[in-house]
Amino acid sequence: METFLTKSPNEAAEFIKKGGVVAFPTETVYGLGANVFDEKAVAKIFEAKMRPADNPLIAHVGSLEQIKLLASEINETAQKFIEAFFPSPLTLVLPKTKEVPLIATANLETIGVRMPNHKLAQEFLKACKTPVVAPSANLSGKPSPTIWQAVYEDLNGRIDCILQGEQTIVGLESTVVDCTSAPLLVLRTGAITLEQLQMIVPETQLYQVKENESVKSPGLKHRHYSPRARVYLLESGKWKAESGKNAAFIGLNRPSIEFDLVKICSSIEEYAHEVFAFFRECDAQKIKTIYCETVEEKGIGLALMDRLRRASET
Ligand code: AMP
Ligand code: MG
């Protein structure tokens, strides 16, 4: 099966209505979507991505009204976050309704809900007339796709359709907050920062996996964001790379060593926007080692460092 390419959100939505899977752009990364209430369609997402069945999916809505189809209860704090941030790169974990099949939530009684702040994504979701579950549209473990060509590279022939949009804006996956826990826990950092969340609900905390405790966010235990090349983190100014041969560098400051491929970003936001596409470009150019400059863990720097650390794990 050749994957159908289109720029039309209505055309792409037709595949969802027929039980198919469609990759579509959002402000974070490209997602691979299916009708949340269609178990067979949801199963196709796991198959196409080769995603472990214990990794839950995030449901995307095209309107605030659709949240009620997914969540059985929206408590006061969740309501505050919705009012303050939706639509945005923020996912709220809420108790699920009985209509949401367990395959979508990896057997959890909760569901992650997000309303993307992205024109094409919203047009597509509205045309689907149903909430759409969508993990990142990459093969499991690979860097998330921020351009449609990256989706094509991983999933051509494995999915029904790609809705072709521009490069995504943020470049990192959404912030995930568990609204069913007290205190509220940030399960995954993203463009909506801890500082922003704490302005609305001061008790919000970063989740840290404790030993001997099962992971609250199942996705955290899987290998993630990894290019084929080996990734190393380098502290600014402490250039220790032994050789720049077959090696690449991405960061904010120009290193004193020569590399085959160098990307200097003018801000942490640009670094976040570019990093996954850079990883893929390195693989295409058969780079063996990628050195990533570390950044201050503040604002979106916290999310960027999280992704870089995971990419560097072997
Ligand atoms: P992805 O869509 O590939 O970025 O992955 C979504 C991530 O969101 C998962 O790997 C989980 O870590 C997290 N997530 C989604 N739904 C839930 C949930 N119901 N409870 C906890 N974490 C969730
Ligand atoms: Mg993912």
Residue nearest to atom 11 of ligand 1 (CA): 219
Residues 113 and 186 in one domain: yes
Confidence at residue 210, expressed as pLDDT on a 0 to 100 scale: 72
Confidence at residue 222, expressed as pLDDT on a 0 to 100 scale: 67
DSSP 97-164: PTTS-HHHHTT-SEEEEE----HHHHHHHHHHTS-EE--BSS-TTSPPPSSHHHHHHHHTTTSSEEE-
Q: Which domain holds residue 145?
A: 4-206
Confidence at residue 182, expressed as pLDDT on a 0 to 100 scale: 87
Residue 268 clears pLDDT 90, i.e. is over it = yes
Chain segment 126-161, per-residue pLDDT in tens = 999 999 999 999 999 999 999 999 999 999 999 999
Residues 30 and 159 in one domain: yes
Chain segment 90-102, per-residue pLDDT in tens = 999 999 999 999 9
Confidence at residue 209, expressed as pLDDT on a 0 to 100 scale: 77
Confidence at residue 221, expressed as pLDDT on a 0 to 100 scale: 66
Residue 237 clears pLDDT 90, i.e. is over it = no
- Please indicate, yes or no, if residue 217 is contained in any of the structural domains: no
Confidence at residue 302, expressed as pLDDT on a 0 to 100 scale: 96
C-beta of residue 71 within 8 angstroms of C-beta of residue 108: no
Cα 275 to its chain centre, rounded Å, is 13
Q: Which residues surround ligand 2, an ion (CB under 5 A)?
A: 136
Chain segment 23-37, per-residue pLDDT in tens = 999 999 999 999 999
Residues 13 and 122 in one domain: yes
Residues 238 and 190 in one domain: no
289 CB within 6 A, ligand 1? no
Counts for the chain of helices (H) and strands (E), in that order: 10, 15
Confidence at residue 286, expressed as pLDDT on a 0 to 100 scale: 96
Q: What is the mean pLDDT of the chain?
A: 94
If you ran DSSP here, which 8-state letter would residue 218 be given? G
User: In the predicted model, what is the mean pLDDT of residues 288-295?
Assistant: 96
User: In the predicted model, what is the mean pLDDT of residues 245-259?
Assistant: 92
- Please indicate, yes or no, if residue 225 is contained in any of the structural domains: no
Residue 195 clears pLDDT 70, i.e. is over it = yes
Residues 76 and 112 in one domain: yes
Please state, in angstroms and rounded to a whole number, the distance separating the CA atoms of residues 152 and 6. Answer: 12
Residues 182 and 71 in one domain: yes
Confidence at residue 225, expressed as pLDDT on a 0 to 100 scale: 84
Residue 294 clears pLDDT 70, i.e. is over it = yes
Residues 269 and 142 in one domain: no
Confidence at residue 245, expressed as pLDDT on a 0 to 100 scale: 80
- Please indicate, yes or no, if residue 170 is contained in any of the structural domains: yes
Residues 201 and 240 in one domain: no
Residues 153 and 252 in one domain: no
Closest CA to 155 of 129, 134, 128, 124: 134
Helical packing angle, 9-17 and 119-128, nearest 10°: 40
- Please indicate, yes or no, if residue 215 is contained in any of the structural domains: no
Residue 239 clears pLDDT 90, i.e. is over it = no
Confidence label for 219 from pLDDT (cuts 50, 70 and 90): low
- Please indicate, yes or no, if residue 218 is contained in any of the structural domains: no
Residues 26 and 117 in one domain: yes
Number of structural domains found in the chain: 2
- Please indicate, yes or no, if residue 223 is contained in any of the structural domains: no
Question: In CATH, what number is assigned to the domain containing residue 239?
Answer: 3.40.50.11030
Residue nearest to atom 16 of ligand 1 (CA): 112
- Please indicate, yes or no, if residue 194 is contained in any of the structural domains: yes
Residues 197 and 248 in one domain: no
Residue 243 clears pLDDT 70, i.e. is over it = no
Confidence at residue 251, expressed as pLDDT on a 0 to 100 scale: 97
Pocket test for ligand 1, best of 26, 29, 57 (most atoms within 8 A of CB): 57
Residues 236 and 170 in one domain: no
Residue nearest to atom 21 of ligand 1 (CA): 217
C-beta of residue 215 within 8 angstroms of C-beta of residue 188: no
177 CB within 6 A, ligand 1? no
- Which conformational region is residue 69 in: left (phi greater than 0), alpha (psi within -120 to 50 degrees), or beta? alpha
